[in-house]
Amino acid sequence: MAKSMTIALAGNPNSGKTTLFNALTGARHYVGNWPGVTVEKKEGKLTYKKHQFTAVDLPGTYSLSPYSIEEKIARNYIVNESPDVVVNIVDASNIERNLYLSMQLIELGKPVVIALNMMDVAERRGYKINHEKLSSLLGVPVVPIVATKKNGIDDLLDKVLDIINEKIIYEPKQVDYGKELEKKIEETIEMLKENPKASKYDLRWLALKVLEEDEEILDLLNLNTLNDEMAAAEEISLEDDIEALVADKKYNYITGILSKTVKKPTNYSLTTSDKIDKIVTNKWLGLPIFALIMYSVFYFTFDLVGNKFLDMIDIFFAETVSTWASNALETIGASEWLHSLIVDGIIGGVGGVLVFLPNIICLFLAISILEDSGYMARVAFIMDRAMRKIGLSGKAFIPMILGFGCNVPAIMGTRALEDEKDRLTAILVNPFMSCSARLPVYTLFAAAFFPKNEKIVVFSLYLLGIFVAIIMAFIFKKTLFKGETMPFVMELPPYKIPSIKGITVHVWERVKGFLIKAGTLIFGASMVLWFILGFNFSGPADLTESIGAYIGKIVAPIFAPLGFGNWAAALSLVTGILAKEVVVSNMSIIYGLAEDPSAAQFAVSLGQSFTQLTAYVFMVFVLLYTPCVGVIGVIKRETNSWKWTGFSILYQFVVAWLVAFLVFQIGTLFGF
């Protein structure tokens, strides 16, 4: 079989890069409209005209300067892995800004084909682009495409094959940086010819990076230790800010090319997105509109749709699955312990979590619509002012929004932040954002203790999570991570009506993760919980004499000042570190909810252990305390530090305890 060829997809955020990747490979990766959605390279396979390709979707970047992890991943892959062709996806409706990355890609010395995407959008805005002339002036193939409609994909792959098979001569034009700088580039190239580590790279690109004093490249070439060469590099770069000069020359070059290839509309008028933004990003209206929208999300999640289906699944597990399983076990003469394991342990534990699937689907559906419509990207802009006051830019709020779904990808999304201190701050506060795994806990307690007001209770918890995250970020920026606030630059995508296919894929990918967790982690946890709640070291035991009760009684005094110092609540919180949904599994098994998992039964069962106040305090603690093991693992990976991982585990527990204590004391003071 012929060797598989590799295509690297590189482009700006929101240029349609992942859409093209999905169109090429048939994958269904989430297509986001803000930085940080693609933070790791993804690979897919495709076959075209009997040729095998591996397509690699690189993180979206505005440049290849190593200021963020995304940029490093993209640049290092192209430089070190040497793909056969780099397909640079360029947003035709924002061609000038996108071509800056194109020029950097071309300078890397790898073959580049430009996919001029969103041609339909550009034409609707009145842009006329002569792509053939553009190709001639750049010296690289330029192919107009519309990735969402799969238009031009075959033409693009034909050009890729032509490059690989050398059917067309690849002779990219070079940016002229001016007489003085070109002389310095040549001198540096001559210097690099003596460096054995430079031989496998494009010397002109390396020379530019040396002149820009790119630390990663200087380390790569050992120029920090070779005194003579380093002195030569410093001598060359003393006079000017080379990096700014290079960027300026590139933009001048791009402007010159576009003046010959692009005709812009003469009459500019506000687009629909511009008109909407005048309202939703308004200085005074932005935050109230955001709060109203989030309240509407919870109204939809609970009152309007979610709870109606929740009742149906309640009945399904209580009256159908449990009854059928009991009858089947009795028919085959199963022992009492096996009956208890399956009905009380597995059905009670896993079913106790799955009954909240409708609420989770509704929440994912609402958030997906907000994300795909382009609104969520505006939230970062709206929050920029508030975030800037605490020393962070609005860009740091994007991972926090992603945390509403799951904190794991949200923490990975912090890679889009250029400043390491900002990134550490964003990582440490992200778990305060209420992920979907906590929703079953809220739904269970809110339905039991706050009937008819579930949406208000849950809404307040989400707001509390945001508030605590912002407060802690402020404290970190004033103590551990002092520094200047990075400027906030982010392209706001145009509003669009989300596609049914896109929303379906997005919701399904998230729901699938929840179902997989229910079928694996929660399934296993339910069996372990059943064992430790039904046995002690002498054998079968009453619930209050079980291993689980023993563990819970040891931990319970910690929570006594919070109003819920009973062993069942304590054990639930301990097991919740495995996964937050396990809190519900634990409660379901302890209170025998497999037979009647209704909110009314739950309220009766917990009536002697919780009041309305302590139920709310318990939810506050679940919102804020130590994250689950999945989040702990990603914090370790992203910080590469056990110190910060351990700090995250401990400080969140302390913050959760203090806030819950405060809520309990204030509630008691007001007689709740």
* Domains of the chain and CATH, by start: 5-165 (3.40.50.300), 179-236 (no CATH)
- How high is the pLDDT of residue 501? 80
Q: Which of these, 471, 412, 322, 434, lies nearest to 635 by C-alpha position?
A: 412
- DSSP helix/strand/coil, 55: strand
Residue 5 labelled as part of a binding site? no
59-71 pLDDT, tens digit each: 888 888 777 777 8
Query: Is position 540 annotated in a ligand binding site?
Result: no
Q: Is residue 59 marked as binding?
A: yes
| Residue 667 is assigned to a ligand binding site | no
pLDDT of residue 488: 62
Tell whether residue 22 is among the known ligand binding residues. Answer: yes
Handedness of CA 333, 336, 337, 341 (dihedral sign): positive
Residue 407 among known ligand-binding residues:
no
Q: Are 68 and 417 in contact (CB under 8 A)?
A: yes
Is 348 labelled as part of a ligand binding site? no
CA–CA gap between residue 377 and residue 19 (Å, rounded): 18
Is 117 one of the annotated binding-site residues? yes
- Residue 282 assigned ligand-binding role: no
Residue with tokens 């778990």: 431
Quick one: which of 626, 618, 606 has its CA closest to 663? 618
Is the pLDDT at 597 greater than 60? The verdict is no
Q: Is 281 annotated as a binding residue?
A: no
101 contacts 63 by C-beta, under 8 angstroms:
yes
- Residues 205 and 223 sit within 8 Å (Cβ to Cβ): no
Is 146 annotated in a binding site? The answer is yes
16 has binding-site annotation? yes
pLDDT average, residue stretch 200-213: 88
Q: Is 58 annotated as a binding residue?
A: yes
Was 557 annotated as part of a binding site? no
Burial class of 547 by CB neighbour count within 10 A (0 to 12, 13 to 18, 19+): middle
Mean pLDDT of the chain: 85
30 pLDDT more than 70? no
β-bridge partners, 10 = 88
Range from 121-135, 266-280, 295-309 that averages highest in pLDDT: 121-135
Is 269 annotated in a binding site? The answer is no
List C-alpha distances in Å: 24 to 16, 75, 119, 624: 12, 22, 18, 42
The residue-averaged pLDDT of 339-354 equals 79
- Identify the CA nearest to 86 among candidates 115, 51, 44, 119: 115
Residue, of 220 and 547, whose pLDDT is higher = 547
Name which of 34-43, 419-428, 452-461, 652-661 the model is least confident about.
34-43
Average pLDDT value for residue range 304-310: 79
Task: Say if residue 36 carries a ligand binding annotation.
Answer: yes
What average pLDDT does the segment 542-569 reach?
92
Q: Is 566 annotated as a binding residue?
A: no
Lowest mean pLDDT among 529-533, 563-567, 649-653: 529-533
* Average pLDDT over every residue of 527-546: 86
What number of helices (H) and strands (E) belong to the chain?
33, 10
Token pair for 212: 């820009």
- pTM listed for this prediction: 0.72
The torsion defined by the Cα of 176, 83, 155 and 128, in degrees rounded to 10, comes to: -30
Rounded distance between C-alpha atoms, residue 249 and residue 262, angstroms: 19
Apex 38 CA angle, 123 and 220, nearest 5: 110
